[in-house]
Amino acid sequence: MLKITMSIEVQIADLLKESIRGRDLRTADCVRMIKTKHMERRTAAGFKGPLDDALWLDVIASYQKQLRKTREEYVAVGERGTAALPQIDFEIELCGRFLPKAAGEEEVRVAVLEGIARLGVTDPKQAGRLMGEIMKANKGRFEAAMVKRLVEQELSPKG
């Protein structure tokens, strides 16, 4: 059976309509923010890229990253910041619905080992080049911190 997948733009529009009809303001506000961030990106000076799902994914991933950073700041404030956390967590989770499932440590380790073999990297000074290749090839699926940690582990001198 043929499975037809809707574009992210259609999914976003449908979710906005559905949330407005259901009077779900939390969802509607988050979706509107994603749409605003997308519009800002595509109308930015010098933007020449295609208006496709990859752009939507990039915008949503950037927004989710911004939300995670905001959450850390609210947690650092202490008791005064805790009131905003449920909304921030909700928005992080909502963004996650559209993003590809993050890869596990084993999958990242395999990619790191394959990258080392393919590029012939042996020197820890080449870690940045290796990381760049891995992150580019697995855009949106690999967490940079995990890739960095595993690259450093694999390139560290074994003694």
| Res. 4 pLDDT band, cuts 50 70 90 | low
What is the structure's pLDDT at 54?
84
In this prediction, residues 118-127 reach a mean pLDDT of 83
Side-chain-side CA neighbours of 80 within 13 Å: the count stands at 3
Q: What is the pLDDT of residue 11?
A: 93
At residue 158, the pLDDT reads: 66
Q: Give the mean model confidence (pLDDT) for residues 30-54.
A: 90
CATH label, 8-96, candidates 1.10.10, 1.10.1510, 1.10.3470, 1.10.150:
1.10.1510
Q: What is the pTM of this model?
A: 0.68
What digits encode the pLDDT tens for the residues 20-39? 999 999 999 999 999 999 99
For 95, residues 6+ apart whose C-beta sits below 8 A from its C-beta are 30, 34, 60, 61, 63, 64, 67
Q: Where are the alpha helices (DSSP H) in 43-143?
A: 53-77, 85-96, 105-119, 127-137
So where are the chain's domains?
8-96, 105-155
Looking at residue 107, its pLDDT comes to 87
Q: For 117-124, what is the mean pLDDT?
A: 84
Gyration radius of the chain over CA positions: 19
Q: Yes or no: is domain 105-155 CATH 3.30.930.10?
A: no
pLDDT tens, residue by residue, 63-120: 999 999 999 999 998 888 888 999 999 999 999 898 877 777 888 888 888 888 888 8
| Average pLDDT of every residue of the chain | 87
